Chains A and B, each alone.
Chain A
Amino acid sequence: MIRSMLFLPGNTPNIIVNGEILGADAVILDLEDAVAPAEKDSARILVRNALKYMGFGACRVTVRINAIDTEFWQKDLDAIIPVKPDLIMPPKVSCAKDVQTVDAYITALEEKLGLEKNTVGLIPLIETALGIENAYAIASASPRVRAIFLGGEDLTADLHCKRTKEGNEINYARCRMVVAARAAGVEVYDTPFTDVNDDEGIYTDAQYAKSLGFTGKSAISPRHVKAINEVFSPSAKDIAYAYEVMEAIRIAKEQGKGAVALRGKMIDAPIVARAQQTIAMAEALGLGREA
């Protein structure tokens, strides 16, 4: 269960070494934007070694590789696939074919290296206007796609508009991403909140993303992780209600009743589905009934 995904620059040992204790459910080791072109080789080797010799404990590991229009992405995969990250994040994905290109390369590597197939997932980073319009095609382009990820910064540049804290400019993109992901049956992650000094703003931004249906959100600062985890965890109230719903259903079944009411409200299939999701999430997070 991944709520928070924390970007860590791929060429900074001091940060990578402590990556697993920063509270994020997943880290994104970045070989792309956080690394200068002249240091692509050293970051790639450092990230490979961090995975090979050290690991990130209970933290899931995503590696953001360089885009497929660069000379780096294949070398990135050559180095990283053998050390088995959970997910590969290809950036600037604009169509299903971009995903399939990366997928095919990984599959060939797995064959060559004798690795178990299809264990490495993909989380395409969608950050262009074309990518947003193709979001469903991207999300369903390969069984490797586990989630899609919205990149708000590059997108606004492509949209010829300014990125703001309120985020009205990416509202359509956010909604489109959620619908595409849910239609394809994959998870969906929101763009990071970029003001690292605004401890309140992160809550508002994360709550909005959650209200739209996002699975979780990324962060470029460890300071945002706590807020994201809090917002994307079911609340104690939600959990208690979910158990009540399930209990009401159980009793109704026992009594052979068709229609069930709880606190004067009819419990229909979507309410049951949401209760089941909440309980599954709470259990995955180790949150108890009373939590």
Chain B
Amino acid sequence: MEKKLVSSLREAIELSGLKSGMSVSFHHHLRNGDYTLNAVMAEIANLGIKDLTLNASSLFDTHAALEDHIRNHVVRKINTNYMSQGLGRRISEGLMDEPVDFRTHGGRPRDISLGITPIDVAFIAAPTADCAGNCSGKYGPSACGSLGYAFPDAMYAKKVIVITDNLVSYPMQGWSIPEIYVDYVVKVDAIGNPQGIVSGTTRITRDPVGLIMAETAVNVIRHSGLLKDGFSFQTGAGGASLAAASFLKDVMLKENIRGSFASGGITGYLVDMLNAGCFESLMDVQCFDLKAVESIRTNPRHQEISAMQYASPAAASAVVDKLDVVILGATEIDTDFNVNVHTDSNGCIMGGSGGHSDTAAGAKLSMIIAPLFRARLPIVTDHVSCVSTPGRDIDVLVTQRGVAVNPKNEELMLRLKDAGLPVVDIRQLKETAERITGVPAGIKRGERTVANVIYRDGTLIDTIKSI
């Protein structure tokens, strides 16, 4: 076996055989603190390689340098699951010739594993690695916890380059991704800025409206019939969702309910629930804060899962299909319960599905928490400007002024009504909002398609137009 440890990114790229027109991939565990994508792309541009397909599990504003690589035709095509506001705006303005393909956290590994989006060279930033490429996110100065989203890249890319700032002697202990997939290892000074990788602490909201919604959300869960021993749960890291997790913990402890697992992006709140005995284990595809990182490092019941095991429809089975309840957010939801998490109210890209549609499809109860209006914009519309998750997968919308149940879930509707929850028709919520805010004028969408939204089964669910 030739020596894997090479002296520079440039050497690794050259050895990988990367050529114009190929595809490269990155994971997003370093989030807005990531240095790796920018460093690699700069080196690729220096080498004169062009027309690449960039397959990144998510893109953040720290990746703004991509704009130049797109203009200079280093990057021709982007496949991703999430794109934050800064880059999203540029894409919406028509920066790229080819539309961005948005997938879900489950759809991406599905399409990688099925060869629909093949990867020539995967660049895997690893907070700790050894010279053979055994690597993990749990240790090192840039520790990010789980490396879940990097697994499909490691397993299916033709060449895999591990980039680390914490090289340890072989064999490292507690690796997540084994050497069998890794072709080259590069040591760099820093793979990311720890402060941007995970937040020190994620806090529950102090916003009184958020707390009201969280309380209602927990009441919905209580009366759904699902909150019993063996309960499984997922929630996002939004303020109201975290508050809901915190209230749910109180209820589970008070009623002595022992759940099975919580999954997805893991925060300190879910770690607290694990340690308090609310769950048997955590299934962690990504850590959101230092407490989660510490927990996955030290607690064997806090388990790392790959993106495939998390949500891939091509996997023999996946965690999302065993979920009882998921709490999700929305920028818009329409009267058919279709949810938009890709674009803002002006039709500008500012997000993506992530695991939204995967968990909504899998969970028995998919709940959206959203304020009835943000600033002056009603959350409920006649038609969302982009369908990220189809309404058939959404069971209930919780707002500060009432709960709307998807009529397809009659049982839940009856249960919540019997429990005295403020159940209203979703159209009534729309009217209530518009009575307060006024009726917003419709937004004119551009002609050009700037992004395709690909549902987790590979079908095109919507397109996003230029602004």
Chain A residues in contact with chain B, CB under 8 A?
17-18, 21-23, 54, 221-223, 226
In-complex Cβ contact of B401 among A21, A23, A221 (8 A): A21
In-complex Cβ contact of B209 among A21, A54, A221, A226 (8 A): A21
Measured between beta carbons, the chain B residues less than 8 angstroms from A18 are: 208-209, 400
Q: Name which of B208, B211, B212, B401 has the most chain A CB atoms within 10 A of its CB.
A: B208
* Contact of B436 with A by CB under 8 A: yes
Given contacts A18-B400, A21-B400, A21-B401, contact A222 B436 (CB under 8 A): no
Given contacts A18-B400, A21-B401, contact A223 B209 (CB under 8 A): no
What are 20 inter-chain pairs, A to B, with CB distance below 8 A? Answer: A17-B436, A18-B208, A18-B209, A18-B400, A21-B209, A21-B212, A21-B400, A21-B401, A22-B208, A22-B209, A22-B212, A23-B212, A54-B436, A221-B208, A222-B208, A222-B211, A222-B212, A223-B208, A223-B211, A226-B215
Q: Name which of A21, A22, A221 has the most chain B CB atoms within 10 A of its CB.
A: A21
Instruction: List 11 other contacts, CB 8 Å, given A21-B212, A23-B212, A222-B212.
Output: A17-B436, A18-B400, A21-B400, A22-B209, A22-B212, A54-B436, A221-B208, A222-B208, A222-B211, A223-B208, A226-B215
Measured between beta carbons, the chain B residues less than 8 angstroms from A22 are: 208-209, 212
Nearest A residue to B400 via CB reads: A21
Nearest A residue to B376 via CB reads: A17
A49 CB to closest chain B CB (Å) equals 13
Measured between beta carbons, the chain B residues less than 8 angstroms from A226 are: 215
Chain B 201-215 interface mask (CB, 8 Å, partner A; 1/0): 000000011011001
**A93 CA / B149 CA spacing, docked (Å):** 65
Rank and list the top 10 A-B pairs by shortest CB-CB distance, nearest first.
A222-B208, A21-B400, A18-B209, A22-B208, A21-B401, A21-B212, A22-B212, A18-B400, A23-B212, A223-B211
A208 CB to closest chain B CB (Å) equals 24
**A221 CA / B206 CA spacing, docked (Å):** 10
**A233 CA / B458 CA spacing, docked (Å):** 55
B337 CB to closest chain A CB (Å) equals 22
Measured between beta carbons, the chain A residues less than 8 angstroms from B215 are: 226
Measured between beta carbons, the chain A residues less than 8 angstroms from B400 are: 18, 21
A51 CB to closest chain B CB (Å) equals 14
**A22 CA / B400 CA spacing, docked (Å):** 9
Nearest B residue to A222 via CB reads: B208
B344 CB to closest chain A CB (Å) equals 19
Chain B residues in contact with chain A, CB under 8 A?
208-209, 211-212, 215, 400-401, 436
**A222 CA / B213 CA spacing, docked (Å):** 13
The interface residues of chain B, by DSSP majority, are classed as helix
**A17 CA / B436 CA spacing, docked (Å):** 9
Measured between beta carbons, the chain A residues less than 8 angstroms from B209 are: 18, 21-22
B417 CB to closest chain A CB (Å) equals 15
Q: Name which of A17, A54, A223 has the most chain B CB atoms within 10 A of its CB.
A: A17
**A198 CA / B265 CA spacing, docked (Å):** 30
Nearest A residue to B208 via CB reads: A222
Measured between beta carbons, the chain B residues less than 8 angstroms from A21 are: 209, 212, 400-401
Measured between beta carbons, the chain B residues less than 8 angstroms from A223 are: 208, 211
Measured between beta carbons, the chain A residues less than 8 angstroms from B212 are: 21-23, 222
**A18 CA / B208 CA spacing, docked (Å):** 9
**A23 CA / B401 CA spacing, docked (Å):** 11
**A54 CA / B438 CA spacing, docked (Å):** 12
**A169 CA / B203 CA spacing, docked (Å):** 36
Nearest B residue to A221 via CB reads: B208
Nearest B residue to A22 via CB reads: B208
B108 CB to closest chain A CB (Å) equals 38
A240 CB to closest chain B CB (Å) equals 18
Measured between beta carbons, the chain A residues less than 8 angstroms from B401 are: 21
**A64 CA / B436 CA spacing, docked (Å):** 24
Measured between beta carbons, the chain B residues less than 8 angstroms from A222 are: 208, 211-212
**A54 CA / B401 CA spacing, docked (Å):** 15
B182 CB to closest chain A CB (Å) equals 49
B222 CB to closest chain A CB (Å) equals 16
**A21 CA / B400 CA spacing, docked (Å):** 7
B357 CB to closest chain A CB (Å) equals 30
Nearest A residue to B399 via CB reads: A21
Nearest B residue to A19 via CB reads: B208
A278 CB to closest chain B CB (Å) equals 21
A71 CB to closest chain B CB (Å) equals 33
Nearest B residue to A14 via CB reads: B375
**A222 CA / B206 CA spacing, docked (Å):** 10
Measured between beta carbons, the chain B residues less than 8 angstroms from A54 are: 436
**A54 CA / B212 CA spacing, docked (Å):** 21
**A54 CA / B215 CA spacing, docked (Å):** 25
Nearest B residue to A54 via CB reads: B436
**A222 CA / B208 CA spacing, docked (Å):** 6
A4 CB to closest chain B CB (Å) equals 13
**A223 CA / B204 CA spacing, docked (Å):** 13
**A108 CA / B436 CA spacing, docked (Å):** 34
Nearest B residue to A23 via CB reads: B212
Q: Name which of B209, B215, B400 has the most chain A CB atoms within 10 A of its CB.
A: B209
Measured between beta carbons, the chain A residues less than 8 angstroms from B436 are: 17, 54
Measured between beta carbons, the chain B residues less than 8 angstroms from A221 are: 208
Measured between beta carbons, the chain A residues less than 8 angstroms from B211 are: 222-223
**A226 CA / B215 CA spacing, docked (Å):** 11
Nearest B residue to A53 via CB reads: B436
A235 CB to closest chain B CB (Å) equals 17
Nearest B residue to A57 via CB reads: B401
Measured between beta carbons, the chain B residues less than 8 angstroms from A23 are: 212
**A226 CA / B211 CA spacing, docked (Å):** 11
**A226 CA / B436 CA spacing, docked (Å):** 25
A18 CB to closest chain B CB (Å) equals 5
**A17 CA / B207 CA spacing, docked (Å):** 13
A176 CB to closest chain B CB (Å) equals 33
**A54 CA / B436 CA spacing, docked (Å):** 7
A202 CB to closest chain B CB (Å) equals 14
**A23 CA / B219 CA spacing, docked (Å):** 15
**A223 CA / B214 CA spacing, docked (Å):** 13
**A286 CA / B180 CA spacing, docked (Å):** 67
**A223 CA / B401 CA spacing, docked (Å):** 17
B362 CB to closest chain A CB (Å) equals 32
**A23 CA / B211 CA spacing, docked (Å):** 11
